[in-house]
Amino acid sequence: MSAEIELVGTFADEEGCVHGVEVLKRAGIAYRVFAPIPSEHLLHAIGRGLSPVRAIVLIGAITGVLTGVAITVGTSWEWNLIVGGKPVVSWPPFIIIMFELMILFGGLSAALSFFFFARMPQLDPIAGYSERFSADRFGIAVECDEADSARIEAMMREAGAEEIAHEDPRTVPVAH
């Protein structure tokens, strides 16, 4: 079913937006939230669970350690000479290289996986977005049929939306 109308409710504060999310969630209506701040309350109310970024970071960090093992132990074996009475494979100093590469690979994995999961760079406009949502307002966008719009609008108003805009979702490509 393709949506006929996009309702965009604007909320003045975090509490109102959290309330709006809870109302829509209870009614089983799909929605998208826009927020100018990283809000723990909002993410908790939406309840989509923890981001998979963490798994990618773990894989990246392990890859970093293994890369550290490969370049330190590997190159030492390649030029297999005892220098200064130290073992060819001297673990204590090599651990420093492994540690640094663990952080490097883990950190870069965090950034790259964030871009992947957040679908960025996002060059197309997102339906329902308003410039106020990066400044001082919170937004909830709902795609629905014309027939449902009055009911959903009433729910958002009751939750505390200060204004509700009607947009045509076909005028802007919907990102996700």
Partner 1 sequence: MAAALEPINTNPTYADIDRGVHRIMDPPGLMFWAWIAFCAALVGIAAALWTRQIYVGLGVSGLRQPNMWAVYITNFVFWVGIAHSGTLISAILYLFRTRWRTAVYRLAETMTLFAVLTAGLFPLVHLGRVWNAYWLLPYPNERYLQPNFRSPLVWDAFAVSTYLTISATFLLMGLIPDVANARDAAKGWRRTFYAILSFGWRGTDEQWRHFQMMYLLLAGLATPLVISVHSVVSWDFAMAQLPGWHSTIFAPYFVAGAILSGVAMVLTLLIPMRRLLNLEELITPWHLDNLAKVVLLTSLIVSYSYITETFITWYSQDQYEVVTFHARYFGHYGPLFWLMVWGNCVFPLVLFSPRIRRSTVPLFIVTIFVNIGMWLERFVIIAGSLATNFNPSQWGIFHPSITEIMITVGSFAWFLMLFSLFARYLPIISMTELKEGIRWLRQSLRDDYYPSIK
CB closer to partner 1, 108 vs 150: 108
CA distance 124 to 118: 14
CB closer to partner 1, 115 vs 166: 115
User: Min. distance of Cβ 164 from partner 1 in angstroms?
Assistant: 18
User: How many CA atoms, within 13 angstroms, populate the side-chain half-sphere of residue 96?
Assistant: 3
CB closer to partner 1, 101 vs 155: 101
CB closer to partner 1, 81 vs 147: 81
Taking a C-beta distance cutoff of 8 angstroms, is the pair 3, 168 a contact?
no
CA distance 94 to 89: 8
User: Min. distance of Cβ 159 from partner 1 in angstroms?
Assistant: 16
User: Min. distance of Cβ 32 from partner 1 in angstroms?
Assistant: 6
User: Min. distance of Cβ 170 from partner 1 in angstroms?
Assistant: 19
Nearest to 106 by CA among 55, 149, 158, 39: 55
User: Strand, helix or coil at 157?
Assistant: helix
Q: Contact residues for partner 1 (CB under 8 A)? A: 32-39, 42-43, 46, 48, 50-51, 53-54, 57, 61, 71-72, 75-76, 78-79, 83-84, 86, 90, 93-94, 96-97, 99-101, 103-104, 106-108, 110-111, 113-115, 117-124, 126, 129, 131, 133-136, 176
**Burial code of 112-137, b = ≥16 C-beta within 10 A, e = fewer?**
ebeeeeeeeeeeeebbbbeeebeeeb
